[in-house]
């Protein structure tokens, strides 16, 4: 049967079958009012993104606590929690689900993940707790929470929580770590160069792209290296290679397998064609490519990995020295 004849027959059968109407189906013919189904989808989405944030928290916590002496002046207390606040950009169903599960209501800051063994965990902070005050000051945002904790310099950090409609006060014994916090951003693009003050984002798309925690550690450590050394001032291949160098040492310090780095960044380059050029003028100063300049970076990453692996084999200290 010729293709055109087959198509004609299929269309004819579609509209002539018993019980089928030739009238177009309108929205009144369908029931879109299944509230329970909407809530089920929204809650599944919330749990998915919280799991991703918890994964980011675990990896960044390990890197930040293992590389303290490599972070220069960017060192301070770490809490070991992931906290979310309401954001209307994500849509009403998402944050209604977030409120049902974690108690995040408009204007509140709620804990959605606690790193086991962290200062927050030892202090008794739980998932679902609302953060009200840090060191006596009202917390207005998630970034405000971490900044106020980092600025406290008088021993244990006093934090006021709301739990089951009761205020609870805990004291978090500080643990020194690299200060920049890793925040999750819901998005499919593999971009991580957006900053939140001295902190940085990792998108949910990039977390999904990283197949293992060893791969995710490469992204987190690379961005941490940018933040602690101020290497975003003048973008270029040299800046990225310097961040690769320090980042690979930070990841190795935390026990992650950096041998996966060359293949991982090669995959990133294939996904981001704009990263295949070293021409800064090509991008212009208003849009520097995240994780770009792969022609220069690829060879350098392989050399740095080999250098670190030799040090590990020889029992040498994992410090980058001068590059």
Q: According to DSSP H, which parts of 124-212 are helical?
A: 142-151, 204-209
For residue 279, the model assigns a pLDDT of 59
Q: The tokens of 318 are what?
A: 């994992």
Q: Is the pTM of this model over 0.85?
A: no
What whole-number distance in Å separates Cα of residue 29 and Cα of residue 176?
61
For residue 286, the model assigns a pLDDT of 42
Domain positions in the chain: 36-178, 182-314
CATH class of 36-178: mainly beta
Closest CA to 217 of 47, 51, 57: 57
Cβ partners under 8 Å of residue 39, min gap 6: 93, 96, 97, 100
For residue 185, the model assigns a pLDDT of 84
For residue 294, the model assigns a pLDDT of 74
Inter-residue contact 46 to 98 (CB < 8 Å): yes
Q: The tokens of 256 are what?
A: 């992650």
Q: The tokens of 120 are what?
A: 């927050």
3 state SS of 284:
coil
Cβ partners under 8 Å of residue 152, min gap 6: 77, 134, 135, 174
Closest CA to 223 of 209, 267, 212, 206: 206
The H or E element containing residue 163 is: strand 157-163
Instruction: Please list the residues that pair with 109 across neighbouring strands.
Output: 85
Going 120 to 125 to 128 to 134, the CA torsion angle's sign is negative
- Compute how many other C-beta atoms are within 10 angstroms of the C-beta atom of residue 312: 12
Strands 182-185 and 199-203: parallel
pLDDT in tens, the chain (323 residues): 444 444 343 434 333 444 444 445 454 544 555 677 888 998 999 999 999 999 999 999 999 999 999 998 889 999 999 998 876 667 788 888 888 888 877 678 999 999 999 999 999 999 999 999 999 899 988 888 999 998 887 789 999 999 988 999 999 998 999 988 999 887 765 555 555 567 888 988 889 999 999 999 999 999 999 888 765 545 567 888 899 999 999 999 999 999 999 999 988 888 877 666 665 554 444 444 555 677 778 899 999 999 999 999 999 999 987 65
């Amino acid at each position: 049967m010729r293709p055109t004849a087959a198509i004609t027959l299929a269309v004819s059968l579609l509209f002539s079958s018993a019980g089928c109407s030739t009238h177009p189906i309108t929205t009144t013919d369908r029931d879109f009012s299944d509230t329970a189904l909407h809530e089920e989808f929204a809650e599944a989405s919330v749990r998915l993104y919280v799991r991703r944030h918890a994964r980011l928290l675990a990896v960044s916590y390990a890197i930040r606590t293992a590389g303290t002496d490599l972070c220069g002046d960017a060192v301070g207390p770490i809490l070991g929690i992931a906290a979310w606040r309401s954001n209307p950009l994500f849509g009403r169903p998402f944050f209604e689900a977030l409120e049902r599960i974690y108690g995040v209501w408009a204007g509140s800051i709620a804990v959605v993940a606690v790193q086991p063994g962290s200062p927050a965990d030892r202090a008794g902070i739980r998932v679902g707790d609302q953060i009200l005050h840090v060191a006596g000051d009202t917390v207005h945002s998630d970034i405000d929470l971490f900044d106020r904790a980092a600025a406290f310099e008088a021993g244990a950090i006093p934090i006021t929580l709301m739990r089951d409609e009761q205020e609870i006060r805990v004291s978090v014994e500080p643990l020194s770590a690299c200060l920049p916090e890793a925040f999750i951003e819901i998005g499919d693009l593999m971009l991580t160069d957006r900053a939140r003050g001295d902190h940085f984002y990792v998108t949910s798309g990039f977390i999904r792209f990283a197949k293992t925690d060893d791969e995710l550690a490469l992204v987190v450590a690379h961005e941490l290296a940018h933040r602690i050394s101020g290497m975003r001032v003048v973008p270029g291949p040299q800046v990225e290679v310097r961040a690769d160098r320090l980042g690979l040492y930070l990841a190795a310090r935390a026990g992650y397998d950096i041998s996966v780095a060359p293949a991982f960044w090669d995959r990133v380059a294939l996904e981001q064609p704009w990263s295949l050029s070293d021409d800064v003028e090509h991008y212009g100063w208003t849009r520097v490519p995240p994780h770009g300049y792969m022609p220069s970076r690829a060879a350098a990453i392989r050399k740095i990995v080999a250098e670190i692996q030799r040090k590990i084999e020889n029992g040498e200290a994992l410090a980058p020295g001068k590059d």
